[in-house]
Structure 1
Amino acid sequence: MTAKLPSDETLTETGLEASGKGRVLIIACGALAREVLALVRLNRWDHVDLQCLPAILHNHPDQITDAVRDAVARHRKDYATIQIAYADCGTGGQLQEACAQMGVDMIAGPHCYSFFEGNEVFAARAEDEFTAFYLTDFLARQFEAFVWRPLGLDRYPQLRDTYFGHYEKLVYLAQTDDPALTETARDCAQRLGLEFERRGTGYGDLATTLTDWAEA
């Protein structure tokens, strides 16, 4: 289901271009900004715009649903279609319920680790990987800001084993083939005292979902 605007709005107000193709707004987690923009540019989706919410909501999932509601309400009058580039992301089904109420689509899956690897593949591995800690390209780049400091490990390094004592490996789900970023992720594993594994996932289900939205 998509968010269609009232038929009595003008073409400009409904976000319709002269060609008749409606403009699409993707409201995304800030942690997906690079990936969404890369797909928009690669596919030349000139009718697609991106609005990102703060990536730090990744650490505060209880705030995601209200932030998405506010963003949809703020932009609804300007676009023919609005789509939500979040999975459940720890909202406990609340985001899915809100999206259904607003008539907008969201990405299927529990979180970005799952849809980058592919939801079916991730689910098949889940039982054997409950001791794995995952990083994406974004989290490898932002490890200090999103993992190390929020957990207090910069101030209390002795807490590392309290937090990660039951983990066995760090799995880096790589969206790009970047040797320097791979080494950054490897260093993150070493700092956490975990084995390291890299998997090249590309954009996974994010790419197929955005393609469906942009080309509908």
Structure 2
Amino acid sequence: MDWPHYFPKVESIVLCSYVCGIYSLSMVDSPLVCLPGKRRIQKNMNGIRYYDHNFNANEWFIVISLIVGTLVVLKLPKRFTNKTTCVYLLCGVFTGFFFDHILSVLPVSYYDINDNSSFQLMDFLSHVMYAPFSYLFFYIYDFFNIKPNLSLLFILGWAFISVGIELFSEYIGIFHYQNGYNSYYSFVIYLVVQSLWVRFYRIIKAYGEKQF
């Protein structure tokens, strides 16, 4: 069973970013922060829901995350080949696109992303933010050589971190839950996805990167 049978050849590395951007407590009262209870939802004739019209906390979080996340990926000592690094980065991007476009589209939309319910550039960038997250997941798992019997604890830890970041993202206006959706459902999704990521890592470790 060869590597090419699992993944296509990638010619260049997509360097993206993820980081949990931390703002100071003084920003809580700042107009940059759009508090959940203060959002006014507007709807136009095309059915698009608008939550905000300004460049504020959610956009700044995405931009800062992209910059810092890129630097983190670049500065970390290299542990994988270029091809494997790219695949690990794309795991996060694919997961973000897959679930966000399943859960946030009609006929039942469980949440909207960023300032309105239509797909915009910032929505794309928010998906790209998942790339360094997935890369760090594989990087740390490999760095500490997590054994199979400890994988569950590792997955649980990352699932809690993921939910924490998502709750912060919801607070500043990246996510807008609706139709009964909440972070408990996200927690289950993170458990499933990260369990698959561990299995994915084991496959790569078992068969290696085959040259062709």
Structure 2 length as normaliser, TM-score? Answer: 0.26
Larger RCO, structures 1/2 (Cα 8 Å, 6+ apart): 2
